Amino acid sequence: MLARRLPGILPPLRDDEALEVTRIHSVAGLLPPGHGVVGERPFRAPHHTASAPAVIGGGSPPRPGEVTLAHHGVLLLDELAEFARPALEALRQPLEDGVVAVARVTGRLLFPARFVLVGTMNPCPCGARGDPGHECLCAPQRLAAYREKVSRALVDRFDLVLTVPRARSREYEGGAGESSGSVRGRIVAAAERLGGPALPFDPAAEMLLARAVDTLPLSGRGRTRVRRVARTIAALAASEAVRAEHLAEALSYRTPTELRAG
């Protein structure tokens, strides 16, 4: 539900982005006759049975995959651990480079693929692990096999990795939440701040990051992503610098222990 609302809070497509999305969807045959320029960020949610070419692109003749159809939008992979391992591992290149390279005897094709990736999965095959109201029935071997479906290298490429507990009845009874329009206003303002000079890190934030690198299993890629998330948090808070509290929040969004153990 949260993932499906992401396109509504992201900044609107720029004119050049809208043209790129329109061309991609036109080539893929997804635009009805007479349809104008695409005005909304795309949202794609392939089923977990989708093959690697369907997700990444390829085939004969080569066609854009879901990562390209989600260009400048959101790609949701629900039940992440149920996707085929080759399809998940193939995500690593477009997540880093923003393009998919398809090599053929006749040449090499590049499909654009800059998207927001959202992956969701249960903590274990039965879904009860970590829930105080239910007992996990998964054997250690089954749990280990489930964790191994998603590699550490792929998880390390996520900016935010969160454990979401099961909602309780009192949470469902709460009033209406904030509208997507008001949230988008804050995000647009933060994006404008991030588009200017890079927000500096104050000494306390730099010291906290140095301690985190020395004490946590934080890779070089993870360190870079923590800095980026911390700058985003500071921009959302309209802060003139990245402070220790912004960095501490960014660190809290790294890989949960259970996933890291896999």
pLDDT at residue 260, as a whole number:
53
Note the pLDDT of residue 257.
61
Reading phi first (left if > 0) and then psi (alpha if -120 to 50, else beta), residue 258 is in alpha
How does residue 171 score in pLDDT terms, banded at 50, 70 and 90?
confident
Q: Alpha-carbon distance 57 to 63, whole Å?
A: 6
Q: Is 254 in contact with 216 (CB distance < 8 Å)?
A: yes
Of 13-17, 125-129, 178-182, highest mean pLDDT = 13-17
Q: Over 70: is that where the pLDDT of 262 sits?
A: no
- For residues 56 and 89, the answer to whether their CB atoms sit within 8 Å is no
Q: How far apart are CA 145 and CA 155, in angstroms?
A: 16
Domain 3-121 CATH class label: alpha beta
Predicted confidence (pLDDT) at residue 261 exceeds the cutoff of 60:
no
**Where along the chain do its domains lie?**
3-121, 180-261
Pick the CATH number of 180-261 from 1.10.287, 3.40.1350, 1.10.8, 2.40.50: 1.10.8
Q: Which two tokens stand for residue 60?
A: 């004969």
Rounded distance between C-alpha atoms, residue 134 and residue 122, angstroms: 14
pLDDT at residue 14 is higher than 80: yes
In this predicted structure, the answer to whether residue 153 has a pLDDT above a threshold of 60 is: yes
Residue 127 confidence (pLDDT) above 90: no
> What whole-number percentage of the chain has pLDDT above 70?
97
